[in-house]
Amino acid sequence: MHLNSLFRNLAFFATIILIMACKSTPSVTSVSPEVFRSELLSLADPQLLDVRTPEEFAESHIPGAVNIDVQSPEFSELVAQKFSPARPILVYCRSGKRSMMAANQLVADGYTVIDLAGGILAWQSSSLPTSSD
């Protein structure tokens, strides 16, 4: 009986530790353009990252975005100079492939990431605002 109680207590504490660890682990969440925009508008000082090339960024981007090409060898260092891992970072690219690559790297670097599913193409298809340089 005493041994059974000990195992139950150990299982309980292991579950608590696991839940706490999961809550503090950075993660990636992919969301629709509408949810992405809501997240952007709800944050006082959003961290918005466009991971496309500078040429693509100049053609059209979400207002307020910072452009850092995910294919740059200095990607992680450049992100660390501009963004805080203490707050979520909103990431997008053209169609979602590069932003997911970037998101995985950002999570490895300690960031919590909100990814725009479908990229700026989905954003534009939803008639949401863009800017160009």
Contact 130, 62 (CB under 8 A): yes
Which pair of structure tokens corresponds to residue 4?
């059974």
Contact 96, 117 (CB under 8 A): yes
- 73-91: average pLDDT: 97
What angle in degrees, to the nearest 10, is found between the helix axes of 75-82 and 97-108?
70
Contact 83, 111 (CB under 8 A): yes
pLDDT at 26: 78
pLDDT at 21: 46
3-58 pLDDT per residue, tens: 666 556 555 545 444 444 444 567 899 999 999 999 999 999 999 999 999 999 99
pLDDT at 1: 52
Q: What stretches of the chain adopt beta strand conformation (E)?
A: 28-31, 47-50, 66-67, 89-92, 113-116
- 87-98: average pLDDT: 97
Ordered by where they begin, the domains of the chain are 26-125 (3.40.250.10)
